[in-house]
Structure formats: structure tokens, C-alpha cells
Structure 1
């Protein structure tokens, strides 16, 4: 494949939640498409393993341990990226958690707090520093990971649904505010995907996987790489007039 055919040739990209699932898949897809990749997450062992895999394939890759729900950690991670590679071209704010499937009136406060801290504040923290870096560079592209739960309701998952709706709101607000600065901000809304969150949900809720498949017109679960491919296109120069969009990658779930 020539450089001209690559989606992200030479682009410095930053990925949160990059140690597993959709984040790790994104790191592999971005690297294959010519990007320099910086992985961020909380588990150093996983980050190191994915980074080594990418380097062995010939990609330029680095990692930084960071819990982006903490403002200082997000700032440090973006600063690390810019200091190491000179700029930030693209970012995928992917880190998120699911929480328990529990009726709203029985949901514990600490579950709500944890979900909102990671899923909303984590995106907020990253956006602030990513946008600042991209303003210095004359523009860039950002994709936030929402969910079909950011577009429709999911039973017994109120904090998760609220958090992913908030990600959609942050995406649209940032897209509107920075469009004239050359920064595009979009979101993906994955359907049921074989990530750690969904595997955990399925394990703790017998029958849930079959229910999810029955509610998806394609009748299956997505591979993380299928989400990552869409993110790569949104971050690339091949979607230059697309900003403020929320793209369902869900096998047709929200069309019903």
C-alpha cells in the first residue's frame, strides 16, 4: 500500500482507553493506516504489550499511563504527545466504563459517580487539552466514543445512558465552537461490540447477549476493529466537511 492510499499518513494520533477493546483495535488500525500512535490508559502492562506489537510491525508508537478522568493526567498525556512528536493531529477519546445493569431507583451513588467521571469528565478533560494543542497546530480532528446508549435508551443502565448522551452534547458543542479554527469533532455510537464492557455485561446477565443479537438487524455483535475503521475515516482527510456528526456503527440498531 502506498502512502497515497493510507488514511492517516504521518498523522500524530492520541488514543485513550488504548490497552484493550476498541482502543487497542484503533491503535492497530491507525498504525496500519500510517499514523504515529500514542496510547493512553490505566494499565501499563496492556499499553506496553500493544505498543510493542505496533513497533514490531514497523509503526511509530509510544504509550503513557494516564487516568484521563483526572484533569492533570489528561494534561500530562497530551503534553507528552506534543513534546515527543511536535504536534497533535488527531485524537480518539475512547476511554469509558459500563457499570452494573440495575434499575435506576436501586443504582448506587458510587456507580453513578464512577461512570460520569470516566465517561464524561474524561472526555471533557481530553477535549480541553487536545483542542489547545490543535489550535497551536492550525487544526486537527477528534472523535469521541459515545454509544447507541447516547442516542436511545438502554434498560437498567441510566447512568451509562446519561453519560453517553453527554458525550454527544460535548461533541456537538465543541464541533460548533471550533469549526472555523480548522478542528473537526465527531462521535461514533457503537452498538453491541465485543469489548471488555460488553463481555462483562454478558457474563453477569445471562441471556443478554442473545437479546442484543435479536435487537440488531444484522443479528450479531461487532468486532472492535469495525468501530476502529469508522473512527480512522472520521479522523482522516477524507471526511473534511464532516463535523458535529454522531455516526452509529450498530448493525442497524437505531434504525428500528
Structure 2
């Protein structure tokens, strides 16, 4: 193996690691796209890129809280709960897709209790909390504005707590990225500057060390990322 090929191999490894880190970086919650290109291949490439970066498509807790606040406001202004559900979806487009099945079911004449049943029932998720509130209001009756406002306050508190945890873990995230990139950058610099390092990379033992070190580096990056982010519920 020539020094040029060894340097190329190190560069490829560095590029692959940087691509993995870019994939793990959080993307903006909203994304304004340019008009769709006419070329089919370019459109497919754009869709693939957005999917690869894993842009979140589900509404956040703040979106669901805004939906609850708008629905509660419509109820307090004298509208019925089904009408408030439909108008809240129009007022909060980010949450409209989640509650669209409920709106469609109500438009087809289904009872509110049955229409609400199509929502996700997991109480750990924002939509599950809203489903419990809407289901109780539909079955038991009574004013729905106050329960919706309390649900919105709960979701706002959960969102603030999540943001505080994210801010507290910012230093740990930076440390994880530095510890991941530093060995790769050091190896690339040494391979470029030192002939002895390039010679070691040409040997089977040197290549095995690079492969093993790269695997351990990626495993350490994944483990640190898992510790920092934990298991979040959206």
C-alpha cells in the first residue's frame, strides 16, 4: 500500500465519521422548502436527504399545547367541542395532521367519543394526554375549556423541562463530539506528516489497529450519545 492510498483511506474514514455526526445532529423543527424542482431525480434526492437527516415530522409538546389553548378558547367563545376541534386544527397547522382523523370522523357523523378513539392512547405522549381529556369531556359532558387549558399547562411544563435538560447536556454533547473527532483528526495529521505512521498503516497490523480503533471510536460515540440524550418520549 502506498502512502497516497493510506492517506486516502484515512480521509474516507474521517468523512464517514463526520457524516455520522451530521446525521446525529438535531435538525430544525420547521423547515421551509423551496418550490419543488421539476426534475424527478432532484426531487427524489431532496426527499431522500430530508429522510436521512431525520427531520422531525410529528408535532412537539408546544404544538399540542397551542392546539389545546386554541380549542379551549373556541369553547369559551361559545362553540361546541367538535367545532372547536376543527377550528383548532386550522389555527395550529403543526398539529392539524394529528387531529385530522378526528375531524374527518366528526364530519362523517360519528359520535365524539368514537372519533376521539382514533388518537394515540399512550398517556406518556402529548396526544395521549389530549385524548384522555377529550374522551372524558365527550363521555361525562361539562365544560371542556378548563380541562384543555390544564392539559396545555401540563404540556408546556413538560416542554420547558425537556428544554432545560437539553441545555444542561450541551456541554456533554460537545465533549462527546470532541472526543470522537480528536482521534480521527490526530491519525489523519500524523499520517500526513510522519512517514513512519504511513509505513505502519501499510502493514496488516497497522490496518487492524486502525479498523479496531475506528470501531471502538464509533461505539464510544454511540454510547456517549445514548447517555447524554437518554430515552426521550415525544
Normalised TM-score (structure 1): 0.23
**Larger RCO: 1 or 2 (CA < 8 Å, sep 6+):** 2
> More helix by proportion, 1 or 2?
2
Q: Bigger radius of gyration, 1 or 2?
A: 2
